[in-house]
Structure 1
Amino acid sequence: MKIKTLAIVGCGKLAHIVVEAMNSGLLSHYQLIGSYSRTFEKAEEIANLISNSQPSDLCIPCKSIDELLALQPDYIIEAASPDSFREFALSALKNGSSIVTLSIGALADTYFYEEVKKTASENDTRVHLVSGAIGGFDIMRTISLMGNCTVTFDTEKSPNSLKNTPVYKDSLQTEKKMVMKGNAMEAISLFPSKVNVAVAASLATVGPKDMKVSVTSTPDYVGDRHRIEVKNDQVHAVVDVYSKTSQIAGWSVVNTLRNITSPIAF
Structure 2
Amino acid sequence: MSRRLRFGIVGYGALGQALTSHLAQHEELAEIVGYVVRDVSRFNGDGRFVAELDELLARKPDVVIECAGQQAMRQHALSIVRAGVDLVPASVGALVDDAWRRELLAAAHASGARIRIPTGAIVGIDGLAAARHVGIDSVVYRGTMPPSTLKAHYDGVLPEHGLVFEGTAREAVRLFPKNVNLAGTIALAGVGFEQTRVEMHVDPALTANVHELFVRGAFGEFHVRISGLRLSESSPSSRIVAGSLAQSALGSNFTVLQR
TM above 0.5: yes
Q: CA deviation at 1:5?
A: 1.3
| Cα deviation digits, residues 213-252 of structure 1 (max 9, x gap) | 0100112421211111111133101121110212111111
Secondary structure in 1 matching 2:251: helix
Task: Confirm or deny that 1:121 pairs with 2:121.
Answer: no
Q: CA distance change for structure 1 residues 121 and 63 in 2, over 3 Å: closer, same or farther?
A: same
Q: CA distance change for structure 1 residues 125 and 234 in 2, over 3 Å: closer, same or farther?
A: closer
Task: Confirm or deny that 1:247 pairs with 2:210.
Answer: no
Q: CA deviation at 1:260?
A: 4.9
Q: CA deviation at 1:27?
A: 4.8
Q: CA deviation at 1:35?
A: 0.7
Provide the rounded CA distance (Å) in 2 between the counterparts of 1:61 and 1:234.
Answer: 48
Secondary structure in 1 matching 2:116: strand
Which ranges of structure 2 fall in alignment gaps of 5 or more residues? 231-237, 254-259
Q: Which residue does the alignment assign to 1:167?
A: 156
Q: Which residue does the alignment assign to 1:13?
A: 14
Provide the rounded CA distance (Å) in 2 between the counterparts of 1:116 and 1:133.
Answer: 24
Provide the rounded CA distance (Å) in 1 between the counterparts of 2:21 and 2:149.
Answer: 26
Q: Which residue does the alignment assign to 1:39?
A: 39
Task: Confirm or deny that 1:130 pairs with 2:96.
Answer: no
Q: CA deviation at 1:117?
A: 1.3
Structure 2 counterpart of 1:18, which letter? Answer: L
Tell me the percent identity: 27
Q: CA deviation at 1:179?
A: 0.9
Q: CA deviation at 1:74?
A: 1.2
User: Which has the greater radius of gyration?
Assistant: 1
Q: Which residue does the alignment assign to 2:23?
A: 22
Contact 1:72 1:95 in 2 (8 A): no
Contact 1:167 1:179 in 2 (8 A): no
Q: Which residue does the alignment assign to 1:234?
A: 219
Provide the rounded CA distance (Å) in 2 between the counterparts of 1:234 and 1:74.
Answer: 37
Provide the rounded CA distance (Å) in 2 between the counterparts of 1:201 and 1:65.
Answer: 29
Contact 1:3 1:30 in 2 (8 A): yes
Q: Which residue does the alignment assign to 1:51?
A: none
Q: CA deviation at 1:104?
A: 0.3
| Cα deviation digits, residues 18-73 of structure 1 (max 9, x gap) | 3222333x25222211111223256x38x96xxxxxxxxxx621022232233231
Provide the rounded CA distance (Å) in 2 between the counterparts of 1:179 and 1:36.
Answer: 35
* Alignment length (residue pairs): 244
Task: Confirm or deny that 1:149 pairs with 2:149.
Answer: no
Which ranges of structure 1 fall in alignment gaps of 5 or more residues? 49-58, 262-266
Secondary structure in 2 matching 1:239: strand
TM-score (norm 2): 0.87
User: Over the residues paired in the alignment, what is the CA RMSD in angstroms?
Assistant: 2.0
Structure 2 counterpart of 1:204, which letter? Answer: A
